[in-house]
Amino acid sequence: MAALTPYTYIQCPCSDSSTLGRSSGPNSPTGSEGDEDDRTFDPRAPRSNYSLYPLEYLLYCEDCHQIRCPRCVSEEIVTYYCPNCLFEVPSSTIKSEGNRCTRSCFQCPICIGPLAVTSVETKPDPGLLAATDNTAAPHSGPYALTCSYCNWSSTEVGIKFDKPNSIHAQLAKLRNGGTTRLTAKERKERRKDPSYRSQAAATTGSEGGAGPGKEEKLDLETQFANLKSFYQRQLADPNSADTGLASLSDLGFSSPTSLSRIMSIYTGGSLQDKKAKSRVGAMREALESDEGLQIADLDESAAIDKLQTDGHDGTASTAQLLDQIPNLGEAHLHGRSRFLSELRPIPYLLRAKRSKRCPVCRHIISKPEAKIQTTRFRIRLVAGSYIPSLAIRPLSLSSASSTSSSGASVPGALLEPLKPTHFLLTFRNPIFDTIKVTLGAPAKTPGRFPSKVTVLCPEFEIDANTDVWDEALKDSGERERERERERRARRGGFEESTTTSSSNNHNNNNNNNAQNQLEVGKIWERGRNWVSIVVEVVPPSLKLGDSTGDGGGVLREDEDVLEIPMFVRVEWESEGGGDEVAVAARDTSGGSKEAREKRELAYWCVLGLGRIRRS
């Protein structure tokens, strides 16, 4: 089984209000819904998955003094850019051109690797020519997009480019197979050309034989344009409007038809009804390709033949098809690309840099640099610099008596059921004020297998996060002395009997003779801006079957993970709105100023301690 490193997730308070509204499903105990304050946060509840975040994911609003998670910030887009060429795309271009890079950035349609523009033309043999000649004319002839990962090349779909730049514009005009796509204007001009007419008739006649061979193959864009102009003509035409309007009910957007509709309303309902009936079917549908008619090509024998030769490997997967962008130059819905050999290069999707705002006070809590090349942030209020971080470490009290190696001494080891295990929680204070931390944890964790939890020291103070050098310079200060005294007191009279040495050798050497320090209400260890406390856990035995209660006799996924919900309340005094450096300076000089403000922050967090051994 995969080892589990201890973790801490913090519940963003934003999810509280949502759970207030309704009961959180069948998992919530029925009696506790009334009093929200008494309810223990259940890390296994289905909702909890969506509100727990590691500390690194969280932001902090300085004005509301509240944690903000990715769910409860409002985002604004700063810039759009292409992840491949790192060019900024103005938002006006996005409105007109879409959210794809319109330069020469493409992805391989098969393996999504980046495509490079290379010359198709075989270069002259380097052995025959001097090197200078090669550099003189490095690239010539047609170009193709090639994937260096899987050797796909756009020549496979018959696409070659004349120029090595502005590939996007060139590709838009090219159909698979290399035939150029005509714009509507060109098409119109071409149709007038008699020589083209005869030629087109000849080709369609030869391949299609009899029947409606006259129809030209329309691509999606032209078909839509033709249909649109045809229907607009129909509606605008006063003669057809007189008859054709009713079938379109209230959709008269050309003025003569609207007028006639209003007139018919005022002239009397019965007459209008009768008229309407006679009008149905009077509006003509498109009859030829000029008007946008496209006969469905139901002959799929070519595709079937291809499938027989290429097999399943030759077809495009769903993911590949989804990556394809709708190509307006495409022939028609019938014969849409289903084979690998028809996939086109994918222009890179643009990305966006976003700034984040607090949804309550609208203050910006995260703002990246607008320049795309830099990854820095102008403003980034990460929660880690405002709320204490929490590190979990298994604590082995392996003195000579308990040699049976309580499994948790190695990080990630399985926890023995029904055996008290100790964990060291280290709170580190990031702010420049002394904070007072109060912890609350349920005596038994929620769930089918409740573990017994005892927080040995649920209330303590952590010193301010002063400058590292401050500490070094006046290390022999009063506080240190006081701490030393405290340490002595903790050891009590056991100083002389220190024969056993603890296995966990911390950087501070004050935790030898660990057995004697496990006292309720005492801090295990403290440093400049951190405090370690001990939590004792008795994991349950994962015996199943005897209780055929909820869920049956199967151990559910991750039910063997020992998770402790813990309510953390942090209190500190800070200057209202003042900057922290000044606060820190004052704090060291004593403290009680009149302008100080009491603040508190409270949240649930979940400590994942490890997996319990299955019996």
Partner 1 sequence: MSSKRHSILPPVSQSGPKPPVHFSSSITIADSALLIGTNLIVIHSESVIHPRAKLDSLAGRITVGRRCIVHERATLGAVGTSGKITEAAVTLGDYVTVEVGASIEAGETVIGEGTVVGVGARVGAGAVVGKHCTLTPHTEIAAGEVVPDFTVVYSNGMRRTDKRGVAELKNKGQARQIDVLRRMIPSNPAKFA
To partner 1, the closest distance from the beta carbon of 345 in angstroms equals 15
Q: How far is CA 360 from CA 15, 62, 383, 388, 587, in A?
A: 14, 12, 17, 23, 30
122 binds partner 1 (CB under 8 A): yes
- Contact, 88 vs 103, CB < 8 A? no
Between 20 and 111, whose beta carbon lies closer to partner 1?
111
Of positions 83, 126, 492, 591, contacts partner 1 by CB under 8 A: 126
340 binds partner 1 (CB under 8 A): yes
155 binds partner 1 (CB under 8 A): yes
To partner 1, the closest distance from the beta carbon of 106 in angstroms equals 17
Region near partner 1 per CB under 8 A, out of 148-156, 455-463, 477-485, 600-608: 148-156
Between 113 and 256, whose beta carbon lies closer to partner 1?
113
Between 146 and 243, whose beta carbon lies closer to partner 1?
146
To partner 1, the closest distance from the beta carbon of 132 in angstroms equals 16
Region near partner 1 per CB under 8 A, out of 151-159, 264-272, 514-522, 571-579: 151-159
Strand 421-428 and strand 459-462: the pairing is unpaired
Site for partner 1 in 78-117 (CB under 8 A): 110-111
To partner 1, the closest distance from the beta carbon of 357 in angstroms equals 41
In DSSP notation, 521-540 reads T--SEE-SSEEEEEEEEEPP
Between 317 and 402, whose beta carbon lies closer to partner 1?
317
Region near partner 1 per CB under 8 A, out of 125-133, 241-249, 299-307, 580-588: 125-133
149 binds partner 1 (CB under 8 A): yes
> E strands along 525-593, which residues?
525-526, 530-538, 561-575
What backbone torsions phi and psi does residue 36 show, to the nearest 5 degrees?
Answer: -65, -35
Q: How far is CA 209 from CA 204, 212, 214, 237, 370, in A?
A: 7, 9, 10, 36, 61
To partner 1, the closest distance from the beta carbon of 112 in angstroms equals 11
152 binds partner 1 (CB under 8 A): yes
Between 110 and 381, whose beta carbon lies closer to partner 1?
110
Region near partner 1 per CB under 8 A, out of 63-71, 150-158, 400-408, 607-615: 150-158
HEC per residue, 130-182: CHHHHHHCCCCCCEEEEECCCCCEHHHHCCCECCCCCHHHHHHHECCCCCECC
Q: Which two tokens stand for residue 20?
A: 């207030």
Between 113 and 208, whose beta carbon lies closer to partner 1?
113
* Cβ neighbours, 10 Å, residue 449: 19
Q: Which two tokens stand for residue 314?
A: 């030759």
Distance of CA 570 to the CA centre of its chain: 30
The runs of H, that is alpha helices, within 324-476 are 468-473
* Cβ neighbours, 10 Å, residue 573: 17
Site for partner 1 in 176-205 (CB under 8 A): none
Region near partner 1 per CB under 8 A, out of 47-55, 63-71, 123-131, 274-282: 123-131
Of positions 37, 56, 162, 313, contacts partner 1 by CB under 8 A: 313
* Alpha-carbon gap, residue 269 to 36, rounded angstroms: 63
To partner 1, the closest distance from the beta carbon of 371 in angstroms equals 33
Q: Which residues bind partner 1 (CB under 8 A)?
A: 110-111, 122-123, 125-127, 146, 149-153, 155-156, 313, 317, 340
